[in-house]
Chains A and B, each alone.
Chain A
Amino acid sequence: MTQVLATTVVVASLYALLAAGYVLVYRATRVLNLAQGDMMTLGGYFLFLVATAAPGEPARAIAGAAALSALAGFLIYRLLMRPMAGHPIFAAVLVTVTLGILLRAAIVLVYTDRIRHPLGLLGLANPARPLIGGAVVSTFDLFTVGAAAALFAALFLFLRFSPLGIQMRAAGEKPLLASQRGINFHLVFALSWALAGFAGALAGILYANNVRLDPSLGVLGLKAFAVALVGGLDSLGGVVPGALIVALVEVLSVRYGDPLLADVSPFLCLLAMLLVRPWGLYGTKEELERV
Chain B
Amino acid sequence: MARLTRLVALLTVVALAPPAAAQYRIGMSAAITGPASSTYAPTYEAYKVYFQRVNDAGGINGQKVEIAYEDDRGEPQRAAANAKKLGEGTILMVNASTSATYKPFMTESESEKIPLLFGGGVCPREAFPPASPLIFCSTSFGSKWDSRFALGFIKEQSGGKKVKVGFAAQDIPLSRIELEFAEQLAKEMGLDPIPVVVVPGNTPDFTPFAQKLKDAGAEWVLSWALWHVEVGVFEALQRIGWPGRYLLYGHQQTQDELARLKAPSLHAFGGNTLFMENLPIHTEITGLVKGQTTHPPHYMAEGWVSAMVLEAALKKCGWPCSRDKLAAAMAGVSIDTRGLRGGSIEWSADNHYRKNTYYKVYRWDPARSSIVSVGGWTRLEIK
Q: Which A residues form the contact surface with B (CB < 8 A)?
A: 3-4, 7, 10-11, 14-15, 105, 108, 112-115, 117, 120, 128, 136-138, 207, 211-212, 214, 216, 219-220, 223, 251, 254-255, 258-260, 262-263
Contact sample, A vs B, 9 pairs, CB 8 Å cutoff: A11-B204, A113-B33, A128-B240, A137-B207, A211-B235, A212-B228, A212-B232, A216-B34, A259-B208
Are A262 and B239 in contact (CB-based, < 8 A)? no
Known contacts A4-B208, A263-B171: A216-B35 contact under CB 8 Å = yes
Taken residue by residue from 235 to 268, chain B's Cβ proximity to chain A (1 for < 8 Å, 0 otherwise) reads as: 1001111000000000001000000100000000
A191 and B232 alpha carbons, distance in the complex (Å): 36
The verdict on B316 contacting chain A, using a C-beta distance below 8 Å, is no
A114 and B38 alpha carbons, distance in the complex (Å): 5
Known contacts A120-B260, A136-B240: A115-B228 contact under CB 8 Å = yes
A216 and B33 alpha carbons, distance in the complex (Å): 10
Q: Which residues of B contact A223 (CB under 8 A)?
A: 204
Task: Tally chain B residues at the interface, Cβ within 8 Å.
Answer: 33
Q: Which residues of B contact A216 (CB under 8 A)?
A: 34-35, 202
Are B207 and A3 in contact (CB-based, < 8 A)? yes
Shortest distance in angstroms between A203's beta carbon and chain B's nearest beta carbon? 10
Q: Of B33, B207, B253, which one neighbours A7 at CB under 8 angstroms?
A: B207
Are B240 and A260 in contact (CB-based, < 8 A)? no
- Most B Cβ at <10 Å: residue of A10, A105, A259: A259
The verdict on B209 contacting chain A, using a C-beta distance below 8 Å, is yes
Are A112 and B212 in contact (CB-based, < 8 A)? no
* Interface-side segment among B94-102, B192-200, B360-368: B192-200
Shortest distance in angstroms between A211's beta carbon and chain B's nearest beta carbon? 7
The verdict on B203 contacting chain A, using a C-beta distance below 8 Å, is yes
By beta carbon, the residue of chain A nearest B207 is A7
Q: Which residues of A contact B212 (CB under 8 A)?
A: 254-255, 259
Taken residue by residue from 36 to 65, chain B's Cβ proximity to chain A (1 for < 8 Å, 0 otherwise) reads as: 011001000000000000000000000000
A90 and B253 alpha carbons, distance in the complex (Å): 42
Q: Which residues of A contact B260 (CB under 8 A)?
A: 117, 120
Are A113 and B38 in contact (CB-based, < 8 A)? yes
A214 and B211 alpha carbons, distance in the complex (Å): 25
By beta carbon, the residue of chain B nearest A259 is B198
A15 and B232 alpha carbons, distance in the complex (Å): 19
Are A251 and B241 in contact (CB-based, < 8 A)? no
Are A259 and B209 in contact (CB-based, < 8 A)? yes
Known contacts A112-B294, A113-B37, A128-B240: A220-B209 contact under CB 8 Å = no
By beta carbon, the residue of chain B nearest A108 is B33
Give the interface SS of chain A, mostly helix, strand, loop or mixed. Answer: helix
Known contacts A216-B35, A259-B199, A260-B200: A136-B208 contact under CB 8 Å = no
Q: Which residues of A contact B35 (CB under 8 A)?
A: 113, 214, 216
Known contacts A115-B38, A128-B239, A260-B171: A220-B202 contact under CB 8 Å = yes
> In the complex, which residues 202-222 of chain B have their Cβ closer than 8 Å to any Cβ of chain A?
202-209, 211-212
A27 and B227 alpha carbons, distance in the complex (Å): 39
By beta carbon, the residue of chain A nearest B35 is A216
Are B200 and A214 in contact (CB-based, < 8 A)? no
The verdict on B164 contacting chain A, using a C-beta distance below 8 Å, is no
A218 and B202 alpha carbons, distance in the complex (Å): 9
Are A255 and B208 in contact (CB-based, < 8 A)? yes
A258 and B253 alpha carbons, distance in the complex (Å): 30
- Most A Cβ at <10 Å: residue of B205, B208, B227, B295: B205
A183 and B35 alpha carbons, distance in the complex (Å): 44
Are A115 and B209 in contact (CB-based, < 8 A)? no
Q: Which residues of A contact B238 (CB under 8 A)?
A: 128
Q: Which residues of A contact B41 (CB under 8 A)?
A: 112-113
A212 and B204 alpha carbons, distance in the complex (Å): 10
Are A3 and B200 in contact (CB-based, < 8 A)? no
A54 and B211 alpha carbons, distance in the complex (Å): 37
By beta carbon, the residue of chain A nearest B199 is A259
Are B295 and A115 in contact (CB-based, < 8 A)? no
By beta carbon, the residue of chain A nearest B36 is A113
Known contacts A115-B253, A259-B200: A10-B205 contact under CB 8 Å = yes
Are B34 and A260 in contact (CB-based, < 8 A)? no
Shortest distance in angstroms between A17's beta carbon and chain B's nearest beta carbon? 11
Shortest distance in angstroms between B196's beta carbon and chain A's nearest beta carbon? 9
A263 and B37 alpha carbons, distance in the complex (Å): 21
Q: Which residues of B contact A105 (CB under 8 A)?
A: 33
Shortest distance in angstroms between B137's beta carbon and chain A's nearest beta carbon? 23
Are B240 and A3 in contact (CB-based, < 8 A)? yes
Q: Which residues of A contact B203 (CB under 8 A)?
A: 262-263
Q: Of A115, A120, A262, which one neighbours B208 at CB under 8 angstroms?
A: A262
Are B204 and A263 in contact (CB-based, < 8 A)? no
- Most B Cβ at <10 Å: residue of A112, A117, A207: A112
A11 and B209 alpha carbons, distance in the complex (Å): 14
Q: Of B38, B200, B211, B253, which one neighbours A262 at CB under 8 angstroms?
A: B200
Q: Which residues of A contact B197 (CB under 8 A)?
A: 259
A128 and B236 alpha carbons, distance in the complex (Å): 10
Are B211 and A255 in contact (CB-based, < 8 A)? yes
